[in-house]
């Protein structure tokens, strides 16, 4: 195969997987380069996702099977695209594959993790718990292969893991591999990061106990999360009776993210149902500027709104403090419908934090045009390079999948033009 039939997909999340699979199933050779140690991206971290509110496995598993069955796809995890040169139909790409220290003989038996003496903060759970320095990213991770975090695994830690492994799967001297590919088109699908909630100094994240982000809420609710799917507050592991959702935590705010992050209203409404399903007594307060329910999500909003234990209060929360002497959280907001500024006490406060395009922290190795907010401008991309999903603007899973299919088609057209 020559470059004309090859596509590089950067990012193995929902959009990247979709683009890769659609293109591969149409006959192209596809290489996926994923920066993390597993495929599935942010969707894998959710408890349930729109539109069907099914768990992430229901969409991801089928994709993983399609990958396994398709010889046209090869993928690399912990892979970083460091260089792209050339033009449409003929890109030279350098991919650095960082060492996992575990090879594909790994059967995910967990012996290394058990023997491992060191711990690391679990980024998959957004820091809610810790894993051993030898770890599986999450229970259904694809590939089912452990990783050793060398920065956390110091001293004789690696040796202990090595000795515990019965399958010769651990290679402590693994080094960064540099791979070169010649491809005809590049699809950027590196997705988004959650906005750093500590930057909002008035919302208390990181300072006030029991203030969490929306993504942490997903992890708390997920059955493979730190609490086994029980929503418990972080300070005392008690189920919260009163939960507040703080909308626009950073979004629509020129001091933070000037744009609407699109998904947070729906995410909070969805998470309200998580809490309500677990505890029929729990009271939910959602503080908002505007509840935005794009597309056909309006009916979901009606359903949540009509729950008598869910209270929607129009007024942005701008002050969050600890209730003196307790682990409870004081939330200050004005109910603009009544004109009263109130301090209310909650057991748990969820910040509906926004989306930041991943290119903001790690720019793509090509001179691209970005909006002032850091999103990729599709129209100004060089020919043969396509951006998908949340790189171009905040988006939900459904639309990202559609966009991935679109990008696959555009790549195929671009390849076809040159053959």
Partner 1 sequence: MAGEILIKPDLQFVKRVMAAGGDTVKKCYQCDTCSVVCNLTPDEKPFPRKEMLQAQWGLKEVLSAPDIWLCHQCSDCTVYCPRGANPGEVLGVLRQMAIEKYATPPLLAKAVGDPKFLPLLIAFPMLLLLFLLKIMGGMGIKVGENLVHQGIAIPEGKIIFAKLFPTLAVDFIFVPAFFFAVAVLGKGVLAFWQDINAPHPWRVKVEGNLVCNLIATLKDILFHNRFRTCETTYTRATNHLFLVFGFIFLLIVTTWGFINEWVLHHDPPYFLLSPIKLLAMAGTASLLYGIWNLIKERQANAEKAGYGSYYDWFLIYVIFVVGATGLLAWLFRLMHLQILAYPTYFLHLTAVFMLFFYAPYTKLAHFVYRTAAMLHARMSGRGF
| 292 scored as a contact of partner 1 (CB under 8 A) | no
Judged by CB, which is closer to partner 1: 113, or 257? Answer: 257
Using CB under 8 A, which of 60, 170, 209, 317 touches partner 1? 317
| 256 scored as a contact of partner 1 (CB under 8 A) | yes
Q: Residue holding tokens 């069955």?
A: 69
The CB-of-374 to partner 1 minimum distance in angstroms stands at 18
The CB-of-221 to partner 1 minimum distance in angstroms stands at 28
Which residue(s) pair with 329 in the sheet?
A: 322, 346
| 207 scored as a contact of partner 1 (CB under 8 A) | no
Tell me the window of 60-68, 72-80, 141-149, 313-321 that interacts with partner 1 (CB under 8 A).
313-321
Judged by CB, which is closer to partner 1: 25, or 253? Answer: 253
Alpha-helix residue ranges (DSSP H) falling in 309-395: none
The Cα-based distances of 67 to 36, 39, 70 in angstroms read 17, 11, 5
Q: Residue holding tokens 């909630």?
A: 197
Question: Given CA atoms 377, 49, 35, 230 in this order, what sign does their dihedral have?
Answer: positive
Neighbours of 413 (CB within 10 A): 10
Judged by CB, which is closer to partner 1: 14, or 333? Answer: 333
C-alpha atoms less than 13 angstroms from C-alpha of 123 in its C-beta half-sphere = 10
| 372 scored as a contact of partner 1 (CB under 8 A) | no
| 342 scored as a contact of partner 1 (CB under 8 A) | yes
**Is 54 within 8 Å of 397 (Cβ atoms)?**
no
Judged by CB, which is closer to partner 1: 260, or 407? Answer: 260
Q: How far apart are CA 401 and CA 163, in angstroms?
A: 43
Q: Which two tokens stand for residue 28?
A: 């192209």
Using CB under 8 A, which of 130, 150, 316, 418 touches partner 1? 316
Using CB under 8 A, which of 240, 315, 393, 404 touches partner 1? 315
Tell me the window of 155-163, 175-183, 236-244, 340-348 that interacts with partner 1 (CB under 8 A).
340-348
Judged by CB, which is closer to partner 1: 309, or 316? Answer: 316
Using CB under 8 A, which of 68, 154, 303, 341 touches partner 1? 341
Q: Give Cβ neighbours of residue 48 (< 8 Å, ≥ 6 apart).
A: 54, 55, 56, 221, 270, 274
Alpha-helix residue ranges (DSSP H) falling in 247-343: 264-278, 298-305
Q: For residue 368, with 0-12 CB atoms within 10 Å meaning exposed, 13-18 middle and 19 or more buried, which class applies? A: middle
Relative to beta strand 119-121, strand 130-132 is antiparallel
Judged by CB, which is closer to partner 1: 159, or 342? Answer: 342
Number of amino acids touching partner 1 (CB under 8 A): 21
Tell me the window of 91-99, 186-194, 223-231, 312-320 that interacts with partner 1 (CB under 8 A).
312-320
Return residues touching partner 1 (CB under 8 A): 202, 248, 252-256, 289, 315-319, 332-334, 336, 339-342
């Amino acid at each position: 195969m020559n470059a004309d039939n090859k596509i590089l997909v950067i990012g193995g999340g929902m959009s990247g997987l979709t683009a890769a699979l659609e293109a591969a199933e149409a006959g192209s050779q596809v290489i996926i380069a994923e920066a993390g140690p597993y495929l599935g991206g942010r969707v894998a971290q959710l408890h349930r996702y729109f539109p069907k509110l099914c768990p992430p496995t229901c969409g991801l598993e089928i994709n993983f099977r399609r990958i396994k069955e398709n010889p046209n796809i090869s993928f690399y995890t912990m892979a970083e695209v460091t260089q792209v040169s050339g033009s449409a139909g003929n890109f030279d790409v350098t991919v650095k594959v960082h060492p996992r220290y575990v090879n594909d003989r790994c059967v995910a038996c967990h012996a290394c993790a058990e023997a491992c003496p060191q711990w690391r903060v679990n980024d998959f759970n957004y820091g809610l718990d810790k894993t051993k320095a030898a770890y599986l990213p999450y229970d259904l991770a694809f590939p089912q292969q452990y990783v050793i975090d060398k920065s956390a695994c110091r001293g004789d830690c690696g040796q202990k893991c090595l000795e515990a492994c019965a399958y010769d799967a651990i290679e402590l001297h693994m080094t960064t591999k540099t791979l070169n590919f010649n491809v005809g088109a590049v699809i950027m699908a590196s997705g988004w990061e959650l906005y750093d909630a500590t930057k909002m100094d008035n919302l208390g994240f990181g300072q006030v106990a029991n203030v969490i982000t929306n993504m942490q809420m997903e992890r708390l609710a997920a059955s493979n999360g730190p609490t086994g799917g029980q929503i418990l507050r972080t300070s005392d592991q008690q189920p919260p009776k009163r939960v507040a959702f703080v909308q626009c935590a950073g979004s629509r705010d020129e001091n933070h993210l000037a744009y609407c992050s699109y998904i947070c209203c729906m995410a909070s409404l969805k998470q309200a149902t998580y809490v309500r399903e677990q505890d029929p007594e729990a009271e939910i307060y959602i503080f908002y500027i505007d509840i935005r329910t794009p597309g056909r999500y309006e009916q979901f909003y009606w359903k949540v709104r009509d729950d008598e234990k869910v209270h929607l209060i129009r007024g942005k929360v701008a002050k969050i403090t600890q209730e003196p002497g307790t682990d409870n959280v004081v939330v200050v907001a004005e109910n603009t419908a009544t004109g009263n500024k109130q301090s209310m006490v909650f057991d748990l406060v969820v910040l509906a934090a926004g989306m930041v395009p991943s290119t903001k922290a790690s720019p793509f190795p090509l001179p691209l045009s970005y909006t002032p907010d850091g999103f990729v401008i599709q129209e100004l991309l060089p020919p043969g390079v396509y951006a998908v999903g949340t790189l171009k603007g905040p988006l939900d899973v459904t639309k990202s999948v559609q966009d991935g299919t679109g990008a696959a088609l555009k790549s195929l057209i671009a390849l076809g033009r040159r053959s």
